[in-house]
Amino acid sequence: MSKEPSNSRSADAADIVHPQPIPFILVHLACFAIFWVDVQPTDWIICGVLYVIRMFGITAGFHRYFSHRAFKTSRGFQFFLAFLGQSSAQRGTLWWAAKHREHHKYSDTEQDVHSPVKHGFWYSHIGWILCKRGLSVDYSLIKDFRKYPELVWLGKFHTLPAVLLGIFVWAIAGWSGLVVGFIISTVLLYHGTFAINSLSHIYGKQRYDTGDNSRNNIFLAIITLGEGWHNNHHHFPSAAPQGFRWWQIDITYYILKILSVFRIVWDLRLPPAHVVAGKRKLSLAAIENAAQQLAASFSIEQISKTVLQVWAHTPKLEELRRRARIGQTEVEAFLKEMKILELPKIGNLTDKAQNMFTHIPSLNPIVERANHIIVQAVSVWLLQNEMIETAVAV
């Protein structure tokens, strides 16, 4: 895994919208009010119940239904899932689902706003939701649900469900119920959900090669009602269950199965046997992600300097200079003809791919794409640094 450049972290920090963290920080500080209220046992019961119910709104509603359409339901229950999910104060349903679809599109690349691989743990855990880039979203990714006016309306007033729930808890359980039952459970929900973005792309096991760093983590699966089987999920995102094996605890799916008995939900999508067995062909997105990772494990600067060093005082360098005067496309074509990745000191793409992606039976598409990415990057480096014209000694 390549180390992300420091300027990427600096850009992330500079993107923080400074007034935005205030409500988020205040909710966390409000947890300390527990020392000034008379906490009752019922408050902790409310906390636990609201955590589980609202986590289901996130996992079954926001994630498996709105983001991935893993099952079908009625329009009425669809709205209920949206309202329940928004009671966790994680912005609107359409925003959440569109942002998640964006994550799958660019998983663990620079375009993935909450990738710990590219942006570090803290930014991927909480920093991204406080920045301009994190708040912006492409709603065209969720146009299948934007056709429902009630969901659009709910998104405009995304804090309303959480506020109404908070008032209700205060009305029935007082200040201690509000602090413990509502506020603390909300903060726990935040970090349970955020841990999937951050920790499940760092810690755990990879049963399937998905082209990203998604992992299966039983601890995260327990605290998030099944979301911790994240590598399974990235292998087949549209499955209603995320635990593919009988022993992989997935409480969200168990609840969905019960609801399906009463026809509240139906057509729960299951992963085919060949998918569970790991015999599914890689998608184009997975190939691209894996190729990007493979290419990033090589130093473009070092490859470029090696090319100049090996070709110094040879007709090949003169030909490279000639093509550079024509343009980048000619440089790329020449580098491919000369098979630069077979030069000494550069290393073997296939060998490295076999070490990085042990479960993929055929690495050819990944290696071919990575080869193209590296050749393109080397040609850009040579032209931008004017190394062809000056033939700087290395």
Q: In what helix (H) or strand (E) does residue 29 lie, and over which residues does it extend?
A: helix 21-30
What pLDDT is stored for residue 381 in this prediction? 85
Nearest to 52 by CA among 192, 219, 259: 192
Indicate the DSSP class of residue 169.
H
CA–CA dist 383, 372 (Å, integer): 17
**Cβ 189 vs Cβ 216: under 8 Å:** no
The contacts of residue 119 (CB under 8 Å, 6+ apart) are: 4, 8, 9, 12, 113, 127, 128
**Cβ 65 vs Cβ 71: under 8 Å:** yes
Return the residue matching tokens 């060949």.
Answer: 274
pLDDT per position as a tens digit, 348-362: 778 888 787 766 666
What pLDDT is stored for residue 58 in this prediction? 98
The token duo for 242 is 């995320």
What pLDDT is stored for residue 81 in this prediction? 98
Q: Which amino acid is at 318?
A: E
What pLDDT is stored for residue 361 in this prediction? 64
What pLDDT is stored for residue 391 in this prediction? 47
Hey, where are the domains in the chain?
A: 6-276, 284-390
Residue ranges of the chain with per-residue pLDDT less than 70: 1-20, 342-347, 358-362, 386-394
